[in-house]
Amino acid sequence: MKITDLKCAIIGQNPVIRIITDDGIDGLGAAEGSKPYLKPMVMFYKDAIIGKDPTDVERVMIGIRKMGAFKPWGAAVSAIEMALWDIAGKSAGVPVYKLLGGKVRDKVRVYNGNKRVKMNGNKPEDYAENMKQMRDFPEKFSIIKQGIAFHGDMAKDFPDYYYGSPTGFHTLSDEGFTLRDGLYRGLMTERGFNHTIECIEAMKDALGDEVGLALDVGPGVTVPDALKLAKAVEHLNIMWLEDMITGDYTPYVSADLYSKVTPYTTTPIHTGEQIYLRQNFKELFEKNAVNVIGPDPADVGGIAEMKWIAEYADLHGVLIAPHGTMDGLIGLAAHVHLAATLPQNYIAFEYPTGNPDWWYEILDGLPNPIVKDSYIEVWDAPGLGITFKRDIAEKHLREEDKGFFD
């Protein structure tokens, strides 16, 4: 079997790739909906994979992995890797999880960092009400993640939250990416710090001990504030504090800085969604810099790359809660097969949804409902186990992508 073509279409906001073979089998992969600009980066790799055997996944990946990088280039590499595994599974007539070593679990836990309810204010009682609404979702999520401090609007909406000035950063809109003020970094004021603690306490009061609370905090928190915050919430049994020092679109790891926080608190410290490849996790593990990692299979280099990282993390006593908020429904399928095979340091992955809602109408193979009591049952169809309903999906293709299914 040989690869004969690589195609990429932006469906909704998600870049979706299709690898075509001379055997009549094709494979699907996808990147985050926050990257609708990714198509040229995907197509950059076309000549490097044409003519290769797609079932020799690692051989193909060796040829392109070195040309990836931290976001966004790693997303293109990761999407190609997903599609290769989809082909390999279909060719062998087995689900992808079988090719990764088989299942450790029959159903995989997910957490809610993506299915949101709009905040109606920035007071502690508003955060508490927001938690109550998400607690009552039909999926019955056992862990809910909320953005605070420099992740989200808290630093913007609360007067004199910190000592510093925002700079521009990218945010998703209906037209793609636009620039706005919003990249915050600096020392919190006493008022800002106290407000943060009050909001966290209100959220935990709302959830009780039946639903875990994870917090996305940065990037942008200084080392002194990161340690002070972690110690201040030790009594609340927070699931983790995520990406305080580095994080979204930060092209470096800063293990030394995390090492000034993690050993000195019992609150779990988390990072990793921005990191590309196993080599860039090595220092975090070996310096005991974090307790939890959250790589994204749509950014880290792919499914197999992430399994290797999870196993290496387990050797160092580090837990894994994969990032995935905007990976879409193709990304969801990749997450399910991967999570089924991960070692026992696995907590839960961040549940991605279809956006727009018509994504649920154009795919076959997903369970209905997808999530029951915070779990997804692992399905057994070959490959990633999902296919497009071509006649419906074609209606949602952009004009420049009309040949995607040919």
The CATH label, of 3.10.520.10, 3.20.20.120, 3.30.1360.120, 3.40.50.300, for the domain at 99-383 is 3.20.20.120
Q: Which of 15, 106, 27 is nearest to 384 (CA)?
A: 27
Distance between CA atoms of 365 and 376, rounded to whole angstroms?
A: 13
Comparing CA positions, the residue from 310, 249, 216, 219 lying closest to residue 74 is 249
Describe the chain by its helix, strand, coil percentages, rounded to 5.
35, 20, 45
d(CA 348, CA 321): 5
Each residue's pLDDT expressed in tens, for the chain with a length of 406 residues: 999 999 999 999 999 999 999 999 999 999 999 999 999 999 999 999 999 999 999 999 999 999 999 989 999 999 999 999 999 999 999 999 999 999 999 999 999 999 999 999 999 999 999 999 999 999 999 999 999 999 988 998 899 999 988 776 555 544 444 444 457 889 999 999 999 999 999 999 999 999 999 999 999 999 999 999 999 999 999 999 999 999 988 999 999 999 999 999 999 999 999 999 999 999 999 999 999 999 999 999 999 999 999 999 999 999 999 999 999 999 999 999 999 999 999 999 999 999 999 999 999 999 999 999 999 999 999 999 999 999 999 999 999 999 999 9
Q: What single-letter DSSP state applies at residue 85?
A: H
Do residues 270 and 305 make contact, with C-beta atoms less than 8 angstroms apart?
Answer: no
Q: Which two tokens stand for residue 103?
A: 């299942």
Q: What is the CATH number of domain 3-93+391-401?
A: 3.30.390.10
Q: Give the domain ranges of the chain.
A: 3-93+391-401, 99-383
CB neighbourhood size of 305 (10 A): 22
Instruction: Specify the pTM.
Output: 0.96
| The domains spanning 3-93+391-401 and 99-383 adopt the same CATH topology | no
